[in-house]
Amino acid sequence: MSIESQLDHSHTQSREVDGPADRFDEDGDAGFLTLNVRLADGSRFECEAAEGFRVVELIRAYGLPIKAECGGSGVCATCHVRVAGNWRERLAPPSDDELAKLDEIATAGEDSRLACQIEMTAGLDGLELLIDPDSLHDRTNQTAG
Ligand code: FES
């Protein structure tokens, strides 16, 4: 086997990896984005994100306590987040289905979105949002041990 074909073979293997670490821009740099998540208690989390990932996936990957009971299917409305004002117009507008789900949330407002319906793009680098208290796990119901 020639050097060229060995190199070509290893290149093919490296392309089988899929995930945030496999996403690079044209310069070969990892094109990571930042997602800033706040909780109602004032805590803040800076999450590494990548294009194409849904916000709810990133929040869960960081172990933050969002309910997201339907796993991102857009049917439970328990991934309710509040998007900071200057970011709202940068998001893709909500679909009719998302608007219908938001209508089911009594406390929803102009800043409300479903985290499973927001996909990270380069234009959303630095996105700031708050997980609505209604969509947080109630840790007080968990028993120790
Ligand atoms: S996770 Fe159920 S609607 Fe978003």
pLDDT in tens, 133-144: 999 987 544 444
Question: Mean pLDDT for the chain?
Answer: 82
* Nearest to 135, CA basis, from 122, 120, 116: 116
The closest residue, in CA terms, to atom 3 on ligand 1 is 74
Distance 141 CA to ligand 1 centre (A): 21
Enter the tokens of residue 38: 């706040």
Strand order in the sheet with 80-83: 44-49, 33-38, 127-131, 80-83, 112-114
Residues belonging to the chain: 145
Q: What is the pTM of this model?
A: 0.77
In a 3-state reduction of DSSP, which class is residue 12?
helix
Q: For the segment 48-64, what is each residue's pLDDT rounded down to a tens digit?
A: 999 999 999 999 999 99
- Which residue do the tokens 């109630």 mark? 138
- Which residue do the tokens 């857009």 mark? 74
**CB–CB of 77/114 below 8 Å?**
yes
CA 111, distance to chain mean position in Å, is: 17
Tell me what pLDDT residue 137 has. 87
The residue among 21 and 112 whose pLDDT is bigger is 112
Q: Which residues line ligand 1 (CB under 6 A)?
A: 56, 68-70, 72-79, 114, 116
Of the pLDDT bands very low, low, confident and very high (cuts 50, 70, 90), residue 26 is: low
Indicate if the pLDDT at residue 8 is higher than 90.
no
User: What are the boundaries of each domain within the chain?
Assistant: 30-136
| CATH class given for the domain over 30-136 | alpha beta
- Which residue do the tokens 């959303």 mark? 124
